[in-house]
């Protein structure tokens, strides 16, 4: 709900959520949430379109356990999210932010603090990706030496 405030009109949110956004942006010097660039808005739009619907599906699959069908959606999700974080983190680290109207990070400490807010959105998807690629629970490839059912039928 916080992220979508970068997309949707302010009047759609209760004052408490608007206040939380203003506090966050001031405390962590994140002007992208107060005056989002178009490229950042496009990422938030993708978050609403791709990521938000994925969460309940993934929660079900991971809580149930052993659902191999989640592998492809989880790979798509994790690669998408990790890819969006590259320009966001680059922007935070290297952009020359103005001081007004919404001050951005100026010092290395402020930049690293803001990076630490965004970093979990890179780290967790990479962990999901590695799990989907290398875990025997979700990897549907058969181990060497096993014959597939198709090759058994051909005999």
Q: Give the domain ranges of the chain.
A: 3-138
Residue 139: what pLDDT? 81
Q: Which helix (H) or strand (E) holds 49?
A: none
Average pLDDT over residues 118-139: 95
Q: Specify the pLDDT at position 106.
A: 96
What H or E segment, with its residue span, contains residue 42?
Answer: helix 38-46
| pLDDT of residue 143 exceeding 70 | no
Is 122:85 a contact under the CB 8 Å cutoff?
Answer: yes
Q: Is 148 left (phi over 0), alpha (psi -120 to 50) or beta?
A: beta
The torsion angles phi and psi of 134, rounded to 5 degrees, stand at -115, -10
Helix orientation angle between 71-94 and 52-64, rounded to the nearest 10 degrees = 130
Mean predicted lDDT score pLDDT of the chain: 90
pLDDT mean over 66-79: 96
What pLDDT, in 10s, does the model give residues 35-68? 999 999 999 999 999 999 999 999 999 999 989 9
| pLDDT band at 105; cut points 50, 70, 90 | very high
Band (2; pLDDT cuts 50, 70, 90): confident
């Amino acid at each position: 709900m916080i992220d979508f405030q970068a997309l949707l009109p302010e009047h759609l949110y209760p004052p408490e959520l608007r206040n939380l956004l203003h506090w966050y942006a001031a405390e962590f010097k994140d002007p992208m949430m107060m005056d989002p660039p178009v490229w950042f808005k496009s990422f938030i739009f993708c978050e609403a379109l791709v990521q938000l619907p994925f969460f309940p599906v993934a929660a079900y699959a991971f809580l149930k356990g052993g659902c191999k069908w989640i592998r492809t959606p989880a790979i798509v999700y994790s690669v998408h999210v990790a890819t969006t974080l590259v320009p966001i983190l680059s922007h935070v680290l290297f952009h020359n932010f103005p001081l007004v109207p919404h001050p951005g990070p100026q010092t290395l400490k402020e930049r690293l603090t803001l990076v630490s807010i965004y970093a979990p959105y890179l780290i967790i998807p990479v962990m999901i990706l590695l799990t989907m690629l290398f875990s025997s629970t979700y990897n549907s490839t058969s181990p060497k030496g096993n014959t597939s059912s198709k090759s058994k039928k051909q005999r």
